Structure 1
């Protein structure tokens, strides 16, 4: 199991190469959604500071998301992904993206609890342009990862000053509720 301390120890052991690991783990998360992007963002910000930690996580997550999108775009209609394309929820989301463009993607990617790998695959199956998709990923991941990096840059202050923790928890709860409301709206439409 991946823990914050385990990742911090790994970064310490490979200090000279730590930034590569800090970028590579969020990149891999785009392919393996079971990996905890929130944990990577927190550890990177705690290890490298809010600016560099955010930048490393952001680079890896954005490049990974775009790479998944390009792979699905190129090979998405193969047998391997045809069954996903026929799933009713997937079809609705693809139609929404085809109609509304990057806005639904941007909104979904802002929420830390959205499985971004699913969003990347669905976007790859849609007809959205590569540029529009990249814009949604760049901006949506920026919002989400900056919030997580802010928390991770000084985890201990959230223990020392509980009101700070409460504010972040309220923001995360609001984002989660908004994400669920938006998801329900997507499922209701059409």
Structure 2
């Protein structure tokens, strides 16, 4: 088969020169699709467990191999199931020594408190963006005291937005070569997604830090009042 005949970079170069690279990609996707829906489900699911795997690539491949709707559904279901599995594992093992050590990290603590206070909103926003560290988000959410139902709802809705966007790009990718303007627009949109995601992430972090400072100041004032002898005397007199 042509797919398994590539041995080095020269073969790929020859394909470009002979205009056969499109044919190679087509056959590669046909081979991928011939394994049935399992690869389309399992690969996005594995990404939740192994964060170094590229979810973006898997979603693109699914939409190109199975089509927009089927590719989207396979990627979405696999990714959501994987995220829920990670959440439940972390929630179950939250009291183990390695995870307790992670919880002591200041950054992790801030995000945990933010999820606990605001629940659905921040999770949904972070999971909407393709370049958010979804594996890290799943772990931190599992360590926090956010309700399971809130997490599941945020994952289902947030990943639907993110995966459909990538799936649309993947399903339309063959037309991009013939329409350079479309390619530029999609490239700009992806860049904007990344920039907006980073801005939202920073704003959420800043807001979390501000709220943490307010809580600290409030705690300090309460301690001072408890330690102040005059306040104790007035309390006793009142009694």
Distance 2:42 2:172 in 1: 22
Residues 80-159 of structure 1 mapped to structure 2, 5 A cutoff: 80-159=98-177
Give the paired residue count: 184
Shift of 1:167: 1.8
Instruction: Choose between structure 1 and 2 for higher RCO, CA contacts under 8 A separated by at least 6 residues.
Output: 1
2:51 partner SS: coil
Distance 2:197 2:190 in 1: 10
Is residue 9 of structure 1 aligned with residue 57 of structure 2? no
2:145 partner SS: coil
1:23 is aligned to 41
After superposition, give the CA deviation of every residue in 1:73-128 in whole Å (9 maximum; x if it has no partner): 11122112112111111111111101111111111101110110000001101111
2:10 is aligned to none
**Normalising by structure 2, what TM-score?**
0.73
2:37 partner SS: helix
Is residue 70 of structure 1 aligned with residue 67 of structure 2? no
Are the structure 2 counterparts of residues 43 and 130 from structure 1 closer, same or farther at C-alpha, using a change threshold of 3 Å? Answer: same
1:160 partner SS: coil
* Counterpart contact for 1:123–1:133, Cα < 8 Å: yes
After superposition, give the CA deviation of every residue in 1:56-75 in whole Å (9 maximum; x if it has no partner): 11110000001100111111
Distance 1:74 1:174 in 2: 37
Residues 156-175 of structure 1 mapped to structure 2, 5 A cutoff: 156-175=174-193
Distance 1:14 1:51 in 2: 14
**Normalising by structure 1, what TM-score?**
0.91
2:63 is aligned to 45
Shift of 1:154: 2.4
Segments of structure 2 that go 5 or more residues without pairing to the other structure are 1-23, 210-239
Q: Which runs of 4+ in 1 moved over 3 A?
A: 8-11
| C-alpha RMSD over aligned residues | 1.8
1:30 partner SS: helix
* Counterpart contact for 2:83–2:138, Cα < 8 Å: yes
1:127 partner SS: coil
Distance 1:174 1:10 in 2: 29
Segments of structure 1 that go 5 or more residues without pairing to the other structure are none
Alignment equivalent of 1:60, drawn from 78, 100, 103: 78
